[in-house]
Amino acid sequence: MKVKVISILEDNYMYLVIEEQSKQALAVDPAVPHRLLEIVKREGLSLIGVLTTHYHWDHARGNKALVKEIPGLRVYGADDRIEGLTDKVIDSQELKFNSINVKCLFTPCHTSGDTCYYVWEDDCTDAPAVFTGDTLFIGGCGRFFEGTAEQMHHNLTKVLASLPPETKVFCGHENTIKNLKFAMLVEPENEKVKEMLSWAKARDDDDKPTVPSTLQEEFDYNPFFRLSEKAVQKFTGKTEPVEVMRALRKEKDKFKKPKDSLPPQAMLALQWGLLMSSKDHMGSAIKESD
- Please give the backbone phi and psi of residue 170, each rounded to the nearest 5 degrees, phi first: -115, 110
What is the model's pLDDT at position 276?
39
What is the model's pLDDT at position 288?
79
Strands (E), the chain: 2-8, 12-19, 24-28, 46-51, 74-77, 87-88, 94-97, 100-106, 115-121, 129-133, 136-137, 140-141, 168-171, 213-214
Query: For the domain bounded by 2-256, which CATH number is listed?
Result: 3.60.15.10
User: Is 153 a known active-site residue?
Assistant: no
Annotated catalytic residue within 58, 79, 114, 290: 58
Count of other CB atoms within 10 angstroms of residue 152:
27
What single letter denotes the amino acid at residue 42?
Answer: R
Residue spans of the domains in the chain: they are 2-256
Count of H-run helices and E-run strands, the chain:
10, 14
Annotated catalytic residue within 54, 114, 154, 290: 54
Specify the pTM: 0.90
What single letter denotes the amino acid at residue 265?
Answer: Q
* 285 secondary structure, DSSP code: G
User: Is 54 a known active-site residue?
Assistant: yes
Annotated catalytic residue within 29, 79, 110, 114: 110
Rounded mean pLDDT for each run of 10 residues along the chain, 290 residues in total: 96 97 97 98 98 98 97 97 98 97 98 98 96 98 98 98 98 98 98 98 97 98 98 98 98 78 44 40 56
What is the model's pLDDT at position 258?
55
User: Is 154 a known active-site residue?
Assistant: no
Q: Residues near 77 by Cβ (< 8 Å), separated by ≥ 6? A: 51, 52, 53, 54, 55, 60, 85, 87, 88, 89, 113, 115
CA dihedral 222, 181, 135, 62 (to 10 degrees): -140
